[in-house]
Structure 1
Amino acid sequence: MNGRVVGFELNSQQPEKAIEFYSNVFGWDVAEPHWDYWSVSTSETERNGMNGGIAKGPNDYPHGTRIQIEVDFIDEAISSATKNGAMIVRDIMEFDEFYLAYLVDPTGIGFGLIQKK
């Protein structure tokens, strides 16, 4: 299984304010919104940073940070995670280039699983 952290998601009930803050303080490049989600590029230099996004937090995760972990087979990863005590918060969702699901580990930490198409 891959298991590589490939991104982050900052959830906020005030995403525009978060975008302004991170853009001004750290110089992050923020794209136009797509489904209340703004893609973020943290660096375009030789010292590349991890990219992610800022989202209007949904009711089940109104604010906070989640990492996104890339897996080869999302169904297998979900099965393994739940067998080891995780809870599914949002089952597999299909997007243009990937599948995404959100889970919470046994300690309450939220994370995303992502499988590229």
Structure 2
Amino acid sequence: MGRVVLFDLSSQDPERAAAFYSSVFGWKISEPNWGYYPVTTGDDNQPGIHGGISKGPSDFPHGTRIQIEVDDIEESIKKSVELGAQIVRDKMEFDNFYLAYLVDPVGNGIGLIQNK
């Protein structure tokens, strides 16, 4: 089963967005890394879904995307496309994971993440 493991908030003013969520909801916002502000929304006593805030690219300037953990990102991309999804960013490699962005058949932006 694909679990929702992260979220991304895209904004054209990520500093302002980070200040808002930190002030209103008490989220812990870390210093940015490559323009991505890691977000912690809970702790060991009351876990939450963590994520990040970044400046949205031209293909996703603002909005929220969930990241769904998958066992095989290539197979998940293939099956998603067969069922009507569109690829926004194909499989990308990072130090500890692979990531892809899609739009589901009804227009929702999602991310697929596979840990190495």
Q: Do the structures match in fold with TM over 0.5?
A: yes
Distance 2:43 2:114 in 1: 24
Distance 2:96 2:26 in 1: 27
Aligned CA RMSD, in angstroms, stands at: 0.8
TM-score (norm 1): 0.96
Aligned to 1:103: 102
- Structure 1 letter corresponding to 2:68: I
Q: CA deviation at 1:35?
A: 1.4
- Structure 1 letter corresponding to 2:42: S
- Structure 1 letter corresponding to 2:4: V
Q: CA deviation at 1:44?
A: 1.6
Aligned to 2:38: 39
- Structure 2 letter corresponding to 1:41: T
SS in 2 for 1:88: strand
Q: What percent identity do the matched residue pairs reach?
A: 62
Distance 1:41 1:84 in 2: 33
Q: Cα 1:116–1:45, aligned 2, differ >3 Å: closer, same or farther?
A: closer
Q: CA deviation at 1:36?
A: 1.3
Distance 1:71 1:43 in 2: 23
Distance 2:85 2:34 in 1: 27
Is 1:49 aligned with 2:48? yes
Aligned to 2:67: 68
Q: How does 1:6-21 map to 2 (within 5 A)?
A: 6-21=5-20
Distance 1:102 1:84 in 2: 15
Q: Cα 1:45–1:25, aligned 2, differ >3 Å: closer, same or farther?
A: farther
SS in 2 for 1:20: helix
- Structure 2 letter corresponding to 1:62: P
Q: Cα 1:114–1:51, aligned 2, differ >3 Å: closer, same or farther?
A: same
Q: CA deviation at 1:45?
A: 4.7
Aligned to 2:79: 80
SS in 2 for 1:78: helix
Which sections of structure 2, spanning at least 5 residues, go unmatched?
A: none
